[in-house]
Structure 1
Amino acid sequence: MKISVSTLGLYPAKIENVLNFVTEQKLDYLEIINEYPYNSVTSDDLNSYDIGLSIHAPMSDVNISSHIYKIRNISVELMIDSFKTANKWGADRVVVHPGSIPVMALKYPEKILKYNIESLIKCQKAAEDYGVMMCVENMPLIERALYTNIEALFDDVDSKLHSGITMDVGHGHNNGFTEEEMLQSDNIHHIHLSDNDGSYDMHDALGSHDIDFPKIFDILKNKKYDDICVIEVNTLHDVYKSIDYLKKINVL
């Protein structure tokens, strides 16, 4: 099992400082969110470090299921740009968020669900073309978000998308799913780790609330999971706390 950390808790540090931090903490992987200030990172910035990478495609101001064609189209293009970047960097996992239902499309949910699938199918084909795995992420309990229900995500990946899944355990817990329910799909090839008390998507340090992380890692061990688990918390302080917690439970 590979433990990584997201730039979410490290930005706006310069990329060289981020890479030095990962090295100092003896982590082998880093997940780079492909938005400012890291959307201008080049292979030259990365080549002198022996660190594995994954990419989180842009989340801000995008909606791959928008009922406005130009917004939907440019959102898909931005996902594909992340696949291109992953190919250049040798990162074989790219996290992609599903779309959401626009305010002015609340009366047409089926149309938005159709757009979401169509866009993700385009993204999956592009990911295959660039030799990377798209891992679609489950969403927290927020208004109009798609794939808050992990069963819907599991079903769509099985029957329509044939992609990977990013299981965000904080999002799953926020939606009331158990650790066993969250990890039942064999299509899970990427995991985001953060903690919360179930009330909202806090992205707090591991071990600070009520997610049962020892159980999560036991399940993953029994499933022989050998992909990346990313510490995705909001602050540097919580990154340190999470690393210490993983050492305490003998994961690191």
Structure 2
Amino acid sequence: MFGVSTFCLHNQPLSAALHELGKITRYVEIMDEGLHFLEDSSPLASHSLHYTLHAPSRGVNIASLLEPIRRASVEVTGQCFEVAADVGASVIVHPGYFAWEEERPRAELQLKRSIHDLTRMADDLGIQFFLENMGNWNYFFLKTPDEMPLLDGTGFALDVGHAHLNHCLPAFLEYPIRHIHLHDNDGKEDTHMPVGAGTIDFLPVMKAVEREKIIPVIEVDTLEGVRMSISALDRLSRV
């Protein structure tokens, strides 16, 4: 079984995206941004699907040195947690970023504060959240495995494409994984290509999926790319 992210239909209303994805899978990850931003859980109630939510990341920075922005980012993420609690979903969260290398130590402290705040919220709501590794973008946290201590006990969401961009996918696969995003690229740009269209070796990835007993989420940029990814993964399962 594979989950599918609504990212592949981000230019369509959420109701239309859920209708289309419901023909492919019973597990959908909501990209809680843009047309798919959730004010509440009502758009999800009319579909008999299992959900995870990808918390808003544009305009959000849980590691911000500007305390009002950090608090607001935690608040926005907490609102996503409330929606997730209504539908029994877990939530994927980006770890934030810093503006200047000299600010990194202070930003790490801010990230730790936010993780503490979010952990308390998640516990109160009875949900889980996982922190996702980032791509090859300057000043983002959690790009390489040496930053795993930043998780501070929080579960890890492995984005395979992001790890490939930073040339450290094999090392990330050695860690416990609670959630996983599948997409491909050429090792240079975060293109969210279909599985098998880039240069990632997915055989060890799927062995890690089997080891961890998790359901992978396909996070590619088109619906046709989703179908291509499922076909590629089905072929891989027969190797």
**Given the two structures, how large is their TM-score scaled by the length of structure 1?**
0.88
What does 1:37-56 align with in structure 2 at a 5 Å threshold? 37-40=35-38, 42-56=40-54
Pick the aligned partner of 1:166 from 141, 145, 157: 157
Report the secondary structure of 2:22's partner residue: helix
Report the secondary structure of 1:24's partner residue: coil
1:200 equivalent to 2:189? Answer: yes
Alpha-carbon shift at residue 32 of structure 1 (Å): 0.4
User: In the alignment, which residue of structure 2 is the partner of 1:95?
Assistant: 92
Report the secondary structure of 1:139's partner residue: coil
CA distance in 1, matches of 2:13, 2:214: 27
Question: Contact conserved, 1:65 with 1:115, CA < 8 A, in 2?
Answer: yes
1:52-89 alpha-carbon deviations (Å, 9 max, x no partner):
00000001011111111111110111111111110012
Seen in structure 2, the aligned counterparts of structure 1 residues 17 and 152 have a Cα distance that, compared at 3 Å, is same
**Given the two structures, how large is their TM-score scaled by the length of structure 2?**
0.92
1:141 equivalent to 2:136? Answer: yes
CA distance in 2, matches of 1:134, 1:40: 17
CA distance in 1, matches of 2:221, 2:173: 23
CA distance in 2, matches of 1:60, 1:203: 17
CA distance in 2, matches of 1:249, 1:24: 22
1:156 equivalent to 2:154? Answer: no
CA distance in 2, matches of 1:228, 1:130: 23
Pick the aligned partner of 1:185 from 157, 160, 175: 175
What does 1:221-240 align with in structure 2 at a 5 Å threshold? 221=210, 223=211, 225-240=212-227
CA distance in 2, matches of 1:112, 1:15: 34
Question: Contact conserved, 1:189 with 1:228, CA < 8 A, in 2?
Answer: no
CA distance in 1, matches of 2:208, 2:42: 38
Seen in structure 2, the aligned counterparts of structure 1 residues 250 and 48 have a Cα distance that, compared at 3 Å, is farther
What does 1:49-88 align with in structure 2 at a 5 Å threshold? 49-88=47-86
Q: Which amino acid aligns with 2:173?
A: L
Aligned sequence identity (%): 31
User: In the alignment, which residue of structure 1 is the partner of 2:11?
Assistant: 12
Seen in structure 2, the aligned counterparts of structure 1 residues 43 and 109 have a Cα distance that, compared at 3 Å, is closer
Report the secondary structure of 2:205's partner residue: helix
Pick the aligned partner of 2:111 from 106, 109, 116: 116
CA distance in 2, matches of 1:45, 1:82: 14
Q: Please, which runs of 5 or more residues in structure 2 have no aligned partner? A: none
Q: Please, which runs of 5 or more residues in structure 1 have no aligned partner? A: none
